[in-house]
Each structure stands twice: as structure tokens, then as C-alpha cells.
Amino acid sequence: MSTETSLQPTAALPSRWARFRDSYLLYSFRRDLIAQVSLAVFIAFVACAVLAPWLAPMNPYDLAQIDILASELPPFWIDGSDPAYLLGTDAQGRDLLSTILYGARVSLIIGFGAVALQALLGVVFGLLAGYLGGRIDAFLMRLADIQLSFSTLMVAIVVGALVKAIFGGATFSAYAVPLLVLIIGLAEWPQYARTVRASVLAEKGKEYVDAARTMGLPSRRIMFRHILPNTLSPIFVISTVQVANAIISEAALSFLGLGMPETHPSLGSLIKSGFDYIQSGSWWITLIPGAVLVVLVLVINLLGDWLRDVLNPRLYKG
Amino acid sequence: MTATATAPLAHPAATGDEAARPLLEIRGLEKRFSLSGDFLEQLKFKGGKLVREQEHVHAINGVDLEIQRGEALCVVGESGCGKSTVARTVMGLLHPSAGEIRYDGQRIDNLSTQALMPYRRRMQMIFQNPYASLNPRMTIQQTLEEPIRLHHPDWSRQQVSDKVAEVMGSVGIAADWGKRYGHEFSGGQRQRIAIARALAVDPEFIVADEPISALDVSIQAQVLNLLMDAQRDRHLTYLFITHDLAVVEHFGTRVAVMYLGRVCEVAPTATLFATPRHPYTRALMSAIPRLEDDRPQHIRLEGEVPTPVHLPSGCVFHARCPHANARCRQEVPALIARDDGSQVACHAIEEGRLD
């Protein structure tokens, strides 16, 4: 990311924008068609999700707008469709387009929320383990190993099922979004912790850290002010991969009935609700949200791939 | 140079009592690094029994040094002899395995982080590699402000930036470099910035760990002169680690020669270069290429430096020393002061077998 323009020290300072304009990041972005298309599609997704209440023809959460007689209508290019429902309707008569827009919103919120939680835990634990070393390192990394030896989905299923059993389905439905963020966030923090720890170990041996120590700076400041900014590029790269992973995990959990309830469907629960009707000919209820999910995850992964190549070709591939 | 010439130059703030006391005293310093990994890796089966086995690298073993106010003590020795470990241990980057370090009479190697803070301000370090010693994500201004803000939390913004401007001026870097990042500068410029950072808190003692060996030859003299100017203007005391004997001759008040983690000779620079005593120092000095020599008489040492994992018994140099006898193989020689102000750790010198 550094602009390796060895300028004369007396030359006028480039502004932040000029720095960005000259950067390798932008240069490689301009030359990479896949990255450009991916970013455009991703931004379109986010915009649609954010603007869902204004874009969607109807509010799928509002029971008064749902007409059960209009259920299982096909999308517009098939005979028997209703022009009011562009992508058809699901089994409860909800407009599929609106439901997908709202569902993508839920999926993205959970994806980003879970990744924020993972990153917070992983970065803090990774920094502590890498910088302090010794017993703390051993303890945190064994914890991460244990965590990684369970599959994410299994942890999520167990926790989800427990919460559902203890507090009841209604409570679970009411707090489904924060719960899913918590479950997916807790299950995947070791990814961050390990990568951050590895970068910290590499940075810790550099002399600027020794310089900070001989200055007498407190460990906390050395960790967060000196080492953390130098480990950001791998964190960015994992984050893209992890957002895609979190969205998939959420979809999988919803598909298994441990995620978003039918009344507030995410893409995963939409796929699940349509799955029962796939044999009866109403394939669109499952396949359209499924295609949307695939495209969303694909563009995030493609962006992550591009970012990884730009920032550091030697990085781990998630 | 006579013994009196090595007497400490009086520090302006120092009273008579303080001036007589060395600024830094290192006594019996040892540092071992474990090679054996953690506890589980140390367990081994030997003869049907589970035993715990540990191996160490003896980076320094029993170093005694005194640094007087106002002097520049150069530490020389080949790679791996523990020069840098001494520097890093003095600065508290490493904890000594044994021995003690006294700064201005106060023991500092066992102080807590908090109690060490006043000493952190008084002693600063300059590192070897200026490409690694500046944080790539901080501007020069931020880099220089950080130590000042840390050690003078009560200073106003204006006072801090005035101080930064002052040190930048004193090391010859332009004030408008402050907004730039380290990677925009050349090695020599970066080393100036690193020196400015060390000077920013007005230290009295600076540990310089090979500060010019990573620099271009044409820049080395500039940086060395900068360090000497700073010493004169700010009454600094240096512990200067280097391999470069030409630099030592130019820069050092006294020289300590290290071999395999021990000090074998400490002497005023002129004395050491004129009459090296210790057999290792003699070999080292004879290795300096000289223009006038068309048939150099190098003292060739046989063999290799022993591994610091299994230290030789007695004098660490005995296996390669042409003057070694049975006593050298058993008894560790202590540093013994001589009339000319030097100290030599050698049985042959002590016994008069070697003059």
C-alpha cells in the first residue's frame, strides 16, 4: 500500500487523496476487471440491502400486506405470473423480491456483525498471545486449537439448540440476529487470533518495537499503537473471507432451522422455506434466493482474493 | 595516553561525589538463552528414565564493565561474542540471567517497569538497522513526539513541537520532513531521525548498537560526526557497539574487547592500539590491514570459535591461544588492572609469561 515514491524531502507533500490516487491499490484495481465487477455488484447488494424499505414493493414483515391467495406465484417470465410480483411469491404469498431484499439485509448484518466480533476477539487475543508470549500465549493458542477442533457449525448448532431449549422458540426468534452474531462470532475468532499472532511475532522482532520498549512505553500502547497498525493488511484480507464465511454459516444454520425465523427470513431461511415446495414445481422460492446468496458470497470472495494479491501475495489463503 | 587521561570528564550537573562514581557499572553479567523449548520438549528418555534436559546458549558469561561519565566506551569483538546482548541487557530489553547492572549507583536490572521510567529517560538506544527501527506507519513527527509526550506528560502541545523542532535541527533534518513516513527517506536520513528520537528526551547515556554498520560508507562518517557533535554539545556518555576498528580509534575513549561472552581486555583507545596485551587483542589488531605493510605479519589463530552452547573450561580463549598452559585450561582469568590504565584477563600476562 505504501507509495514507494522516493521523493525529495523538500518537495511539496502529497495530500492523502493524491497518495491514494498514486497507490498500487488503485492501480491494480483499475487493471483488474474481476475486482471492478465484484466491487460494483457488492456495492449494489449493500445499497439494495440498506435501501430495502424504500426499494421493495412491499414489506414482507407486515402481515397485513400479505395475501395468502397470491401464494406460490411464479416469476414474471413464466405463464401465470402476476406483474405485481416480479420474482413471484413464496408459500405464504410474500413478494419474493421484497423478501430477498430484506433477507439480504439480514444476511449482511449478521455477516458483518459476526466478523466484527470475531475480529475484536481475535485481534485482542492474537496481540496478547503474540506480544506477551509464554503462558498467556500457550493458554490462548490451546484455547484456539480446542475451538478450531469443533466445526463452527457444530458449535453453532449446540449453542443454538441450547438457547432454543432453555429460553423457548419465541425468545430465540426475537433475539435471533444478535444471537447468530454472537454464535458465529465466538466460533470463528481463532482464525483471526492465529493470523494476528503470526504477524505480531514477525513484527515483535523488529527494532521499532525494541525502540518503543527502550522508550518505556507501556505494553498496551506498543501492542495497539505500534504493532497493530503494521498487522492490518492480513486482517483486512481475512475479514473479506470471513464475511463470506459468516454469511454462509448463517445461511446453513437458517437452513437447519436454527437461524432466522420464517417471519424475518434471511437468505438461508428463505431457501429453506422454499425447499419444501421444490418438488411441487415452485422451484423459484428456493433457487432465486440461492442464486442471490451464491453471487453475494462469490463477489466477496473475489474481492478478498484480489485484496490478498495486492496486499501480500504470501498470505494465507482462507 | 596515560591513566589520568581516562579519568571521567566532569558532567556539568555532577558534583564531586557523583563524578567519581561510574555512570554505569556491570558486574558479573550473564545471559543464557534456552535452546530446549518448553517444559514438554525438555523431557527426554535416557537409560530408561525420564529426565529433564536443558541446553543453553551462553551469550554472555561474566562481563564486568564500568562506564565513566562523558566517555565513549567502544565494545568490539567478532560476531556472536555477545556485544549486542550486553547492550540489550543494559537497556532492559533482556533480563540478565545473573549479575547486576548499576546506573548512577542504583541497581536497575531488577526494577519494575514503573520504577525504571526515570532511567528510561536518562538512557536511550540507537539501533543498527534504520530501516527497521522506525515504525513504518508513523510519521516522523509522531515518532519524535512519542517519547517526549511519554516522559513529559505535563508539557503543552507547543512545548512538545518546539522540542521536536529543536532535536530535528540538531541532527540536521529539515522541519518539513515531519509529515512524512520513514520509508520516504534514505538510510542515513533515517538514522538521523532515529538519533533525533533518542535525543528527544535529553538523555545522558546512549547505547548505540552498531549504529553505522548498516549505512553506506559515504554516510557513515556523517553519522559518526553527528554522534560526536551530540556528545560534545549534550555531554553524552556512549556505550558504542561496533566491529569497525577504524571507528573505534576515531571515536572511542576506551575500548573493551570481547570474546565468547567475556571481556578479555579493557584499555584506553590509544593504549590498546599501541600495545595490545591480551593474545586475542593482539591477533585482532594484527588483522587490521595497513597501507605501509607489504608483508603483513598477521597472527593466525588456529581453529574456530568454540560453540557458546558448551563453553570451554578455564579461559574461553585457551583452545586457540598460543600461550595457553594447564592453568589456562582450568582457571577462569579475572580482569586485572595494569599500570597503564588497562585491564587484561589473561594468566600469561599476570604471570609475566607474556608482557
- pLDDT value at B187 more than 80: yes
Question: What distance in Å separates the CA atoms of residue A97 and residue A75, rounded to the nearest whole number?
Answer: 10
Question: What distance in Å separates the CA atoms of residue A266 and residue A198, rounded to the nearest whole number?
Answer: 35
Q: Say whether residue A293 is in contact with chain B using an 8 A CB cutoff.
A: no
Rounded to the nearest angstrom, the minimum Cα separation between A125 and chain B is 21
Q: Say whether residue A218 is in contact with chain B using an 8 A CB cutoff.
A: yes
- pLDDT value at A82 more than 80: no
Structural domain boundaries, residue A258? 51-311
Question: Which residue in B43, B45, B40, B66 sits closest to B53, CA to CA?
Answer: B43
Look at B113 and A229 and tell me if their CB atoms are within 8 Å. no
DSSP secondary-structure letter at B21? S
**Residue listed under C-alpha cell 513541537:** B161
Q: Is residue A261 part of a domain?
A: yes
As a whole number, the mean pLDDT across chain B is 86
Q: Is residue A250 part of a domain?
A: yes
Q: Say whether residue A9 is in contact with chain B using an 8 A CB cutoff.
A: yes
Interface mutation vs chain B, best among A135, A207, A219, most B CBs within 10 Å? A207
Q: Is residue A138 part of a domain?
A: yes
| Rounded alpha-carbon distances, angstroms, from residue A202 to A4, A126, A131, A214 | 22, 13, 10, 19
* DSSP track, B251-290: H-SEEEEEETTEEEEEEEHHHHHHS--SHHHHHHHHTS--
| Rounded alpha-carbon distances, angstroms, from residue B261 to A10, B12, B80, B240, B336 | 46, 35, 8, 16, 17
- Beta-strand relationship, B205-209 and B254-259: unpaired
* pLDDT tens, residue by residue, B4-30: 444 444 444 445 555 578 899 999 999
ipTM of the complex: 0.84
Q: Say whether residue A217 is in contact with chain B using an 8 A CB cutoff.
A: yes
* pLDDT tens, residue by residue, B69-110: 999 999 998 888 888 999 999 998 899 999 999 998 889 988
Domain residue ranges in chain B: 3-351
Q: Say whether residue A214 is in contact with chain B using an 8 A CB cutoff.
A: yes
- pLDDT value at B1 more than 70: no
Torsions phi, psi for B142 (to 5 deg): -65, -40
What are the residues whose beta carbons fall under 8 Å from the beta carbon of A186, sequence distance 6 or more? A117, A121, A155, A159
Rounded to the nearest angstrom, the minimum Cα separation between B249 and chain A is 27
Q: Is residue A4 part of a domain?
A: no
- In DSSP terms, which residues pair with B126 in a beta bridge? B208
Identity of the residue numbered B348: A
pLDDT at A222: 92
Contacts of B117 in chain A (CB under 8 A): 216
Q: Say whether residue B115 is in contact with chain A using an 8 A CB cutoff.
A: no
Q: Is residue A136 part of a domain?
A: yes
B70: left (phi over 0), alpha (psi -120 to 50) or beta: left
- pLDDT value at A127 more than 90: yes
Rounded to the nearest angstrom, the minimum Cα separation between A228 and chain B is 10
- What percentage of chain B exceeds 90 in pLDDT? 37
Q: Say whether residue A211 is in contact with chain B using an 8 A CB cutoff.
A: yes
Q: Between A69 and A232, name the one with better pLDDT.
A: A232
At residue B239, the 3 state secondary structure works out as strand
Q: Find the mean pLDDT for residues A118-136.
A: 92
* pLDDT tens, residue by residue, B208-261: 999 888 888 888 988 999 999 999 999 999 999 998 888 899 889 999 999 999
Spelled out in words, what is the top-level CATH class assigned to the domain B3-351? Answer: alpha beta
Question: What distance in Å separates the CA atoms of residue B111 and residue A182, rounded to the nearest whole number?
Answer: 43
Q: Say whether residue B253 is in contact with chain A using an 8 A CB cutoff.
A: no
Look at B189 and A9 and tell me if their CB atoms are within 8 Å. yes
Look at B150 and A215 and tell me if their CB atoms are within 8 Å. yes
- pLDDT value at B41 more than 70: yes
Torsions phi, psi for B2 (to 5 deg): -100, 175
pLDDT at B25: 92
- What percentage of chain B exceeds 70 in pLDDT? 94
Q: Which three cell numbers stand for residue B168?
A: 530535528
Q: Which three cell numbers stand for residue B43?
A: 523431557
Rounded to the nearest angstrom, the minimum Cα separation between B258 and chain A is 24
Q: Which three cell numbers stand for residue A304?
A: 478478498
- pLDDT value at A9 more than 50: no
- Beta-strand relationship, B106-107 and B98-103: antiparallel
pLDDT at B6: 42
Look at A207 and B135 and tell me if their CB atoms are within 8 Å. no
Q: Find the mean pLDDT for residues A295-304.
A: 91
Size of interface A-B (CB pairs under 8 A): 78
Q: Say whether residue B176 is in contact with chain A using an 8 A CB cutoff.
A: yes
Q: Say whether residue B337 is in contact with chain A using an 8 A CB cutoff.
A: no
State the CATH number of the domain containing residue A82. 1.10.3720.10
Confidence of residue A1 (pLDDT cuts 50, 70, 90): very low
Confidence of residue A43 (pLDDT cuts 50, 70, 90): very high
pLDDT at B293: 66
Q: Between B349 and A7, name the one with better pLDDT.
A: B349
* pLDDT tens, residue by residue, B310-326: 888 888 888 888 888 88
Q: Is residue A285 part of a domain?
A: yes
What are the residues whose beta carbons fall under 8 Å from the beta carbon of A267, sequence distance 6 or more? A100, A103, A104, A106, A107, A247, A251, A254, A289, A290, A292, A293, A296
- Using CB atoms, pick whichever of B120, B132, B134 lies closest to residue A215: B120
Question: Which residue in A51, A303, A205 sits closest to B129, CA to CA?
Answer: A205
User: Residues of A numbered 171-210 whose beta carbons fall under 8 angstroms of chain B's beta carbons: which are they?
Assistant: 206-208, 210
Number of domains in chain A: 1
Q: Give the range among A29-38, A101-110, A264-273, B162-171 with minimum mean pLDDT.
A: A264-273
As a whole number, the mean pLDDT across chain A is 82
Q: Say whether residue A6 is in contact with chain B using an 8 A CB cutoff.
A: yes
Q: Is residue A18 part of a domain?
A: no
Question: What distance in Å separates the CA atoms of residue B108 and residue B90, rounded to the nearest whole number?
Answer: 9
Q: Contact at 8 Å (CB) between B93 and B123?
A: no
Model pTM greater than 0.90? Answer: no
